[in-house]
Structures are given as structure tokens and as C-alpha cells.
Amino acid sequence: MTVNMHNAHYYVKSKRTSVMCLLHHMEFDDRPDPAKRLEMARIARGFKTAKDAARYFGWAYETYIQHEQGKRGLSRTADRYAKAFRVREGWLTTGEGDGPDGAPTTVPIVGYAGAGPDGSVLYATGDGNFGEVPAPIDASSKTEALVVQGDSMRGLANDGWIIFYDEKEFPKEDHMGEVCVCFLEDDRVLIKTPYAGSQLGLFHLESMNASMMLDVPVRYFAFVTDIKPRRSAKKFALRNPDAPPQDVDGNGRMLS
């Protein structure tokens, strides 16, 4: 299989679930997608908090916040919220069409994480060959996603889950101790937690299910910024359904 390298990108908010990764603590947003889009629309409309929006429009705060938290569905209130936040009702409920201010509604899936024997990332041989997934809150045009395949990343993300990450950057102190996509000098791409190595340009790379990699030269890091469980990422709009080894099924797993 030909493996081309690519780059990619995102942030995490409200109803949160914690995931422990050795010394690292990370949170991901497991709310239903309509609840996330409701928050995105509210922020884009200029309301910093849910309470500000509820007060301005005369809504019961406890009811509104339950919609943003995903504790209540939007079927009866989507039209009201769409008009108030000046977005399309279809986008709010299903993600179809443009979001507020033209924000992206989908993110390209550029490869599989944990697919290689060393837990490496396998990228698509063409842009978007793995399809798309709904964009997380605050996604940009550079945001991309990886589908986790297999159990090599269990404890951080399970088989079929989606990992979002930011554009790659030269190594800096901010990356240390944070889960990152690591672009190595030997062209491998791994998802690890980096720490400073024994000398400049070298890094120790930590993971859940493998020994610490010591003094590894790394070109770039990209922050892993969101993780979406399989149940929240069942709908994929495949751009290239005729690419047999690279298609994914409704659970985000590779089709044989």
C-alpha cells in the first residue's frame, strides 16, 4: 500500500468525559451533535454564555442549557433556536448546509490511527479517500480527522472512534505532556504524548500500550484536540466509495 503523508486539525467543551492516558489527562465532548451545533450557533451569534442567550430571548435558562448539554432533543425547539441564532434549522438538527459564518460542517477523514504494527498512522492515498465526519465545534478549514483502527490505542481511543487534530507545527514547549500527532524524521506518524529528550530536537514519546520511545527525532507535532466515540460518529459521507481497501463502514472500521 502506498502511504502519503498529510497534515491536519481542533478544541473541546461542555458535557465532558475524562480519559486517562498514563500521566496525561484529556477530555472529549460526547454530547449529541445537534447540542454541539446549538452551542456553536449561540457563540457565533455573539452570546458568550448560555445564560446570556436565554436572558436576551426570554427563554427558561434551565430548559435551554439542557438542550446545549444534550440532555434534551431539539425536535420541538430547533425552529425557534435557528431563527434566534440566524442559522438554518436543517444545519442545526442534521448538520446539512452551511453553519454560522460559513463554518465547515464536515471534516475530512485523512487516515487510520493505530493501523500499523507500531501504532502508526496510515494515510489516504488521495485527499479525502476515507470520507468525512461532522465537524467539531470551532473547526477550521485545516481541521482533519483520523479513524482509530484496532486496539493499539485502547485507553485513549477505542476501535472506530474519531480523533481530530490541529495543523502541524514545529516542536515547542506547549506540546510537551499533551497528546499529539507526531511526525517523525523517518516519515512515520504516531499518536503519542511527547516529553523533552536528552538533547535539543529529540523527544521521549509515551503511549498507553507500548514502551516509551526514547530520544526520537520529530519534525512536527499537531495537538490532538477532540475525540469522538464511535456511537457519535456513525454517519460517514464517503467521497470515494469505489476505493476498496480504504472505505469505512458505518462504525468507522475498514471494509475488507
65 is in which domain, residue-wise? 33-102
Place of cell 459564518: 101
* Residue-wise pLDDT tens digits, 188-243: 888 899 999 999 999 999 987 778 899 999 999 999 988 888 766 554 433 333 33
Q: How far, in Å, CA of 202 to CA of 54, rounded?
A: 50
Q: 79 lies in a domain?
A: yes
* Residue-wise pLDDT tens digits, 142-169: 788 898 888 778 778 888 889 999 888 9
What's the pLDDT score for residue 172? 94
Q: 143 lies in a domain?
A: no
Residue bearing the bigger pLDDT, 51 or 97: 51
Whichever domain contains 57, its CATH number is 1.10.260.40
Q: 198 lies in a domain?
A: no
Given a cut of 70, whether residue 244 has pLDDT beyond it is no
Pick from 140-149, 177-186, 246-255: least confident? 246-255
Q: 59 lies in a domain?
A: yes
Query: What backbone phi and psi angles, to 5 degrees, belong to 168?
Result: -75, 145
What's the pLDDT score for residue 171? 95
Which residues, including other chains, have CB under 8 Å from residue 253's CB and lie 6 or more apart?
147, 149, 159, 160
What's the pLDDT score for residue 138? 66
Given a cut of 60, whether residue 252 has pLDDT beyond it is no
Number of domains in the chain: 1
Query: What does pTM read for this prediction?
Result: 0.56
Q: 71 lies in a domain?
A: yes
Percent of the chain with pLDDT over 90: 26
Query: What backbone phi and psi angles, to 5 degrees, belong to 154?
Result: -55, 135
- The chain-wide mean pLDDT, for the chain, equals 76
